[in-house]
Structures are given as C-alpha cells and as structure tokens.
Structure 1
Amino acid sequence: MVTKVQFGIFSVGDVTMDPMTGRTPTEHERIKAMVTIALKAEEVGLDVFATGEHHNPPFVPSSPTTMLGYIAARTERLILSTATTLITTNDPVKIAEDFAMLQHLAEGRVDVMMGRGNTGPVYPWFGQDIRQGIPLAVENYALLHRLWREDVVDWEGRFRTPLQGFTSTPRPLDGVPPFVWHGSIRSPEIAEQAAYYGDGFFANNIFWPKEHFQRLIALYRRRYAHYGHGTPEQAVVGLGGQVFMRRNSQDAVREFRPYFDVAPVYGHGPSLEEFMAETPLTVGSPQQVIERTLEFRDYFGDYQRQLFLMDHAGLPLKTVLEQLDLLGEEVVPVLRAEFAKGRPAGVPDAPTHASLLAARQEAEIAPVEA
C-alpha cells in the first residue's frame, strides 16, 4: 500500500529527570530506550523513526548513523531518518559516506534531515564559527549534493580544504541519494535552500504559533515553483508536532502537567494551557489529537510527513510505549483515512527510495522514447 502521508516519531534524545520519581536515567538506559521506542514504532504501524544529533549534555544521540544502523538490523520496513543532521559542523564528505553506507545496510530505508543546530558552543568544538551558520549550511550542502550525484568531484570553497578527483564511497544505493529534508524553526534562508534543490522542507512546528510556520512553508512552496520543480502544491512538506494522550483528556492533562512545568525546553514559562493555545502541543484524548492534527492541513496545505515528539521531558519509557500504542492503534489509522479524503491528484506521495528510483528510471526512459 502506498502511504500518501508518512506518520512517525522523532526523538531529541534528552536525558531528563523524571519529576515524579526524582530519578534521572543513565546515558546507557536512554540510548537503549530510544532503540526500544523505534522498534515499538514499527510494531504499531508507524512509518518513520528519526533521531536528532547532539554533542552536548543532556543529550545522547551524538552518532545518529550508528544508532540507525543498529535499528535497521532489527526492523524490516521502518524508514530511518535524522532530525537533524548538522550540516554546519559535520564534514559533507563524512555525511555523504555515512548515509550512503546506511542506505545499503538498510536496503534504502533511509533519508536525512539537514539542519544548522541551535546550540552555539557546538560550532567551535568542530572548528567552526556560529556567525557563519547560514553560509556553512549553504556551502556544505552544495558539496554534499554533488558528492552523491557525481562519481568524481573537483571542488573548492571557503570552509574546508579543496577536493581534486574525489569519489565518495560507497556510492548511493541504486545510484539514488537519500531523500533530503531541510529542517528549520525560524530561517527563511533554509526554506529557500530546500526550494532551490527541489528537496523537502520540514517545519518543526513545535514551539511557535502556526502563523510563523505558515509564512515559512508558503515561502518554500512559492520558491519551489519558482525554481521549476512543480506547482506550489507539489512541494514536499513535513511537520513536527508534540502530543501526550490518555483516553480521558483530564487524565492526560493531570499526568503531563508535572513534566511540562519543569521540562528544560518549555518549563518555568507559560502555563500548559497557554502553551497548548499558542503552539501545536496537544495534551488530551486521542480524538483531540486527531482533530488538532487534521487542522494542520487547513493551515499548511496537503503535506507528506508528520512526525510527533513523544519521548521527552523525563517521561518514563513505559509511558512513552503506552503513548505509541494509542498513536498507532487509535490515532494514525484515522489520520491516514482523513488525510486521503479530498487529497488532490497532483499532490505527491511521501518520498521513498522505491519511488525515487522509479522516477529516475522513468526519466531515463523518456528521452529514449522521445
């Protein structure tokens, strides 16, 4: 069955104290929990698991391809992605090699989300200057894009040593690079970059009001069409989201409030009710999550990927797994059916390795037939 919208989860891999018990998991426990969560995602019928990349406490996923390779060996159909890969502080050559290798090991069940990162000290740790964040993202991705598409590359830029007659190995599986999403919370330059290459644009859609992301996505869609990749409606859009569910909405609010109130990312600020009113955070029943998520299409147009953040703020693993049961059994089946209703024929399906390979083969046959 072709999935027109991919549903999944993403993790930032934070190691956070559970405010209900006062206990903080070890790094080992958190890493193993992320793997368990990914396996559960496949079990309950989700399409995607994505991990962030961080190089500072209190986060553990410093080597996403290592984790995703391990998960690939233990899953059969789950698409493995990042959320995000730091295009600014990673060498594009290493990104090209690591993700091509992962592609082969996972039989193509791989894509990648590029991002600049929002932790300033990371830049000097990897020999870069945060003030060059946008130029680094632009130049490094320009090189990565070529490394995956050209067998031999000659290249010279501002931020790394030149390349002469360089071949990145292994080559992408079937000659088809991993699909690239460009992730952004606030930067129109990144929306422009995604549009220029005809790549996907992922609006994280968690901390800010919908109007902010409406502007970013609308810009991306316009520029996607400007560069000749298709109509604005054919642009490939992904969205983040945050949910916490119990069958009874009052139970969900009561249980999640202590975690929200002290969470490093949004605690000690607006109330839970204020945050839910101003951002896409949804705490309530499965039906409330369904209704809120369906509104995203009204705000942003038909889109291709929906990822939820569910394993954060110190929530215990048992609770996260219960959340995934609700998501897979009660929420996603309804969302699949509802998103399919009235979806225009010209809106593309979510990209997969198989669909990208088929498109390339079709493009190669077309000139011969003409």
Structure 2
Amino acid sequence: MATSSAPLPTESDRTGFADELDERVRQFLTEHDPTSTDPLRFLQARFDAGLAWIHFPRGLGGLDAPRSLQPRVDAPFDQVGAPTHDLGRIGVGLGMAGPTILSHGSAEQQQRWLRPLWTGEQVWCQLFSEPGAGSDLAAVSTRAVRDGESWIVDGQKVWTSMAHEASWAILVARTDPSATKHRGLTYFACDMTAPGVEVRPLRQATGEAEFNEVFLTSVRIPDSDRIGETGAGWNVAMTTLKNERVFIGSGAAPREDGMIGIVADLWRTRPELRTAGLAERLVTVWIDAEAARLAGERARQALATGQPGNEGAGAKIAFARLNQAVSSLELDLLGEQALHYEQWTMRRPATVDFRVRSAGYRFLRAKGNSIEGGTTEILRNIIAERVLGLPAEPRNDTSVAWKDLPR
C-alpha cells in the first residue's frame, strides 16, 4: 500500500502541521482529478495517501495527525465535488467497526479490513441485539464454541440494519457460559456470506423492512477473525457502542439541519397553519435543536483529544427525543393533511433519509430512534452512573458489581 514517506511536523507545531496537510491535499487533487478518476480508485488512493482518517496510523488511512484537523482536510475535497461515502450504507463500518478494529484488532486485521471498509467496498452490519436480551448486551445467548482453529456459532440476532446487503458483521457471542455474563463474551467479525447465515426482513410500522433478523446456524468463524482476546468481548463492545453513539448523535450539521428545518420551513411558508400554541412548541423544539447541535459540535471538538467517552449517550438521547418531538409537531401543524401516507409497499431500503419522505413516515420512523443505538432507558443509566457518578441501581446479576466492570 503506497504511503508518503515525507516527515510531518510535530503536533506541537500546529501551524506547520496544518500547512503540510494543506500541501498534501493540494498535491493529491492535482494528481487525481476528482471529475475523471473512477470514484472507487479515487477513494482507494486517498486512503493510501493517509488522507482518509488522518488521526489513524500511517499505512492505515492516516498520518498520525491530530483528529481536530480532519475538517481542514475534508473541506477541499468537498469543494471540488470529490467522490465521497454513502454514510447510510457504510455507516456501521465507518462509525463502529473501523474504530473498534483500530483499537482492538491485530495488525493483520487492520490491514485486511480498514481500507475496503473506508472505501465502501465492504458493507458492515452489527450483530449485537437479540430477541431474548432486550437492551442488556451482556445477556446475549448466541453461543460460539471453539473447534480447532475455528468457532462454531449458533444463535439469533435482531434489528440489524443493512444485514441484507452486508458482507461482514461485528458479532458478540457467548464463549464461556460458566463465567459471569459480562466476562464470558467474545467479539468476532462474521462473514455474512458464510454457510449458515440467514437474513430475514423485519417489516416495521412504516411498511418497510429497513431492519432484519439474522439466524446463525453452525456458522464457522476462523479464530483469525476474532477481535480482541477470548472473553474480552464486553470491553471491545464498549468501544463500538461509544463510537456508535457519537456517530448517531453528534454529526456535523448547519443550523436548522434535519427535521427541525423541515418544520421551520413549513411554518414560514404556510401561515394558515399557525396557532399560538403551536408557535410556543416550535420555539421550544427549535431552541432544543440548536442546543443539541452546538453540544454535538463541542463533542466533536472534545473527540479530537482522544477516544469517545460515555458522554456520547447524552447526544444520542437528545437526537431521539428531538426527532420524536419535531415529527409530532409537524403532524399537528398539518392536521388532516398528515393522514396521507405516501405508500405501503414492502421495500428493503439500504438507507433512511427523513428529508425526502412524508410527514407520516417521519413520525412513524422517529419512534425507533429511542431504541436503535441503545435504548433511552439504558443510556440514562449510563449517564447517571458513569458520567455523573450516581449510585448504581440494584441489578439481578449479583455475581458481579457494576462498579467493577471495565470502563
């Protein structure tokens, strides 16, 4: 994999560091015309040049640069309309699998997976939730039994986005049923094309099957696809979930981006819909949306100094609450007009875009925001105990103290 050998200034010399990055981007765009280069080849070359995740190590898409300089690198690519990612399609890979593989994967795994994951050649999904475990990840019952240099996996996962298009999955399974539930887990990468993997659609209230349930029947996973040590799956999964919550709740956005912008435009352009009571509600959710946007920006700036923390749970809660409040306000504004639903045709979409759908769809789909990516109830416990330091609730699993679990 080609990487530049030119030395970069030290991090303490931030001006020189930024200038060097500017020059690298300028030179790259000179050598790779974004309008004529095949999009995949362009993204592969960008990764090889260290201009993908710039805070990642050299040879793995980065330059060991400060994470805070990523927007400075991305801006010139955006300005010239360079090929980019479909975040809805490969978001699990970029936001969850990638950081986890970097933190816990072997050197061979990092070389094997990070490049195609970043370029979008591989679509990843997340096999965590189970029908019998609810929001308690440590209660998963999917079993992985060692068989020589492989593991045989049996179980069922549910609410899996992109499973119907994914080539790989991040998977948590129980490998030691005799250990306390947080200690007996192991983390794997699962080939979704392997024999024994069955994906079935889950039709939702929206009429579509955006999610799936996945059945694993005697699926053989090589031990070389185990991420982290045997029995250390809880630690590895916490890295994934912290990055997931930041990815969901803290995306960069301009003012009035997303559903709040849709409702604000409706208010401005349809004066006949306005009432005093609805005006008060609109102002309240608009302020909440702006506060959440600024909090997300602060979280991204803090992220530049290291790994995401448990504070990402707050951003995820705010995201879910706001989407539900705004979509409910939109229905009340539209009144009987909101009863029209665009279609009820069974589809299995790869991505979800609230902006191009009807008010009814937005209302129904927003209900899932407080479940996906960690339920609001569980995230509130995380904030109370791990951020605010409040006393833990009594738990049924008395064999292990919550305060003793890995952070």
TM more than 0.5:
no
TM-score by length of 1: 0.26
Task: Return the index of the structure with the highest Cα Rg.
Answer: 2
Greater relative CO, 1 or 2 (CA 8 Å, sep 6+): 1
State the TM-score, normalized to the length of structure 2.
0.24
